[in-house]
Amino acid sequence: MTRPDLSKTSAPAPGAGTPVLEVDDLHVEFRTRSGVVNAVNGVSYTLAAGETLAILGESGSGKSVSAQAIMGILDSPPAVITGGGIFFEGKDLLTQPAEEQRKVRGPGISMIFQDALSSLNPVYSVGFQIGEMFRAHRGTSRKEAKKKAVELMDRVRIPGAAARVDDYPHQFSGGMRQRVMIAMAIALDPRVLIADEPTTALDVTVQAQVMDLLKDLQRDTGMGLVLITHDLGVVNEVADEVAVMYAGKIVERGTVDDVFTDAAHPYTDGLMSSIPQLEAKGGRLTPIVGQPPNLAAIPSGCPFHPRCSRRRIGAEAAPGRDCAADVPPLRLVVPGREAACHYSEEVLGV
């Protein structure tokens, strides 16, 4: 299978091996007047200290909802976590009292949101908003919190931090606002950082600067990073492991080298094939046909089968592996690679 040159040499993640975050069979649904939307349908993964896990998938695949469930910021109602566990350093957050969860979310697990402008409060200075982390979690005085804010702005390379600490969000560029968001997220030295589309709406140069900053912070602190993104190039540069989501489930999981070089699930294969190739100047892109499924009416069997050119239905299918009727489990296909496809061995050619 020919792919664009996305290969890289992976090094073991520092501290890899001991899970600092574990998501186990997580289910989230939205109960609306028009029906139940099954947004997350049994997501499981682990993250070790110092490791970067990238979560890929089209809009509506459940990436951001699963992250919001980890952070405890889903609007309920209509959102309801109906099953599973979220373990931070071995303790299930979903069974902990609200006060205990609050002690973890921020100091233990923190998050960078997609849109920095809408995530920052326009009526408070950036220094006040960064300092709020110290006032709320550590009881720091306002004067000391402002000092900490300046230090963090320096740390994320905002020029003239001391002079800009009293500026408001609208006075910063998109890239600088994203740095402010990163400063807020790392204020309390979290063990896990979730970055939800951290480079959205930024130009290529600023994207690279933001990702370099995150890599440097990760190297300095040893935090685990969950990166939610559509940018396959960014994933290739920074990730150790990749989890591909579709219809609220993980459909493929493995190292970034393995997944990018030879996809085991037809959906992942479609994502990789849709990447523009420099050597095919003037050629047509190869999109995935069809639309993502309605999460209020997910197709039976494999949820990807209506869009899959490899599907086998009825007499074409092997017993128990009818793509339109039998749900494929996420299973080990080859060492180190899991996929939720009845025919992944054929996709891989093994």
pLDDT in tens, 30-47: 999 999 999 999 999 999
Strands 52-56 and 241-246 come out as parallel
- Select from 135, 162, 187 the last residue of a domain: 187
The pLDDT of residue 280: 64
Q: Is residue 23 part of a domain?
A: no
Nearest 5°: phi and psi at 161?
-55, -45
3-state secondary structure of 186: helix
Q: Is residue 220 part of a domain?
A: no
Q: Is residue 316 part of a domain?
A: yes
- Select from 187, 209, 230 the last residue of a domain: 187
Residue span of the structural domain in which 321 resides:
262-275+299-349
Q: Is residue 317 part of a domain?
A: yes
Q: Name the more confident of 244 and 233.
A: 244
Count: domains in the chain = 2
pTM for the structure as a whole: 0.88
The pLDDT of residue 146: 96
Nearest partner of 204 among 233, 236, 173, judged by Cα: 233
Whether the Cβ atoms of residue 22 and residue 48 lie closer than 8 Å to each other? no
Q: Is residue 244 part of a domain?
A: no
Q: Is residue 228 part of a domain?
A: no
Mean pLDDT within 272-286: 74
Q: Is the pLDDT of residue 73 over 70?
A: yes
- Write out pLDDT tens, residues 75-92: 989 999 999 999 999 999
| Cα–Cα distance for residue pair 326/342, rounded to 1 Å | 9
Mean pLDDT within 320-329: 97
| Cα–Cα distance for residue pair 134/174, rounded to 1 Å | 25
Range of lowest pLDDT (161-175, 186-200, 246-260, 296-310): 186-200
Q: Which residues of 258-291 are buried (b: 16+ CB within 10 A; e: fewer)?
A: bbbebbbbbbbbbbbbeeeeeeeeeeeeeebeee
Confidence band of 319 (pLDDT split at 50, 70, 90): very high
- Write out pLDDT tens, residues 190-233: 999 999 988 877 788 888 888 899 999 999 999 999 999 888 88
The pLDDT of residue 282: 67
> What percentage of the chain carries pLDDT values higher than 70?
93
Q: Is the pLDDT of residue 270 over 70?
A: yes
Q: Name the more confident of 124 and 237.
A: 124
The pLDDT of residue 287: 85
For residue 123, the 8-state DSSP code is T
Q: Is the pLDDT of residue 10 over 70?
A: no
The pLDDT of residue 151: 96
- Select from 131, 157, 187 the last residue of a domain: 187
Q: Name the more confident of 77 and 276.
A: 77
Confidence band of 9 (pLDDT split at 50, 70, 90): very low
Range of lowest pLDDT (4-18, 102-116, 202-216, 296-310): 4-18
Q: Is residue 35 part of a domain?
A: no
Q: Is residue 152 part of a domain?
A: yes
Confidence band of 7 (pLDDT split at 50, 70, 90): very low
